[in-house]
Amino acid sequence: MTTTSKYVELVGAQQRAARHATSMPLFVNALAMCYLTYVRFVDPGQLAAATLTPMVAYAALLLAMLLQRQLTGVGLGRDRYGIVAVGAIGLVVIFGPWAFSLLGASFFLGLGLVILGVRARDAWLWIPGTVLMVAGPAITFASPGLYILTACTVGMLAVSTTALVREQRTAKIDIS
């Protein structure tokens, strides 16, 4: 790899770090998983709340990134948070509670992370997303579903925190 391409790669990494392009989606999904865990512990019958969770999570992610752009001037990049938010809304409208009762809300949260991760070529997004997609039906149907949900929630909180620390270190690298 040439010095120029290393420089361009580092600048790109710093821009993604400044935008929190990895930690922000992970954190929003971690909060959504916390909510799903809360619903499962307190009121397991709230299917409507679980159905709306991915839609609300990705709409909140889009709003957070737009707010960040207004406050800091750091752009949205090419991650297409809006497309994922609109896609989540479309899934709710098209499939409604039926798909969510089969696959689970965490499946659709994971699907959004996979889409963002593949678009950004970011394993920090698509790997946790894949885990959530695989765990979604198990959370819904398996007898230890509550334990799987709790483990996924704790895992998402840990991964989002680690990603934030990683982004902060990347942002501090001197590229001059």
What are the pLDDT tens digits along the chain (176 aa)? 577 777 666 666 666 666 778 899 999 999 999 999 988 888 777 766 778 888 889 889 988 888 887 887 766 666 666 777 777 777 777 777 777 778 888 999 999 999 889 888 899 999 999 999 999 999 988 889 889 999 999 999 999 999 999 988 887 776 66
Those residues with Cβ within 8 angstroms of residue 169's Cβ, 6 or more apart along the chain or in another chain: none
Element (H, E) at 91: helix 81-103
Whole-number pLDDT of residue 99: 79
CA-to-CA distance for 52 and 48, rounded, in angstroms?
Answer: 6
85: tokens are: 């938010």
Question: Among 116, 88, 90, which Cα is nearest to 24's?
Answer: 116
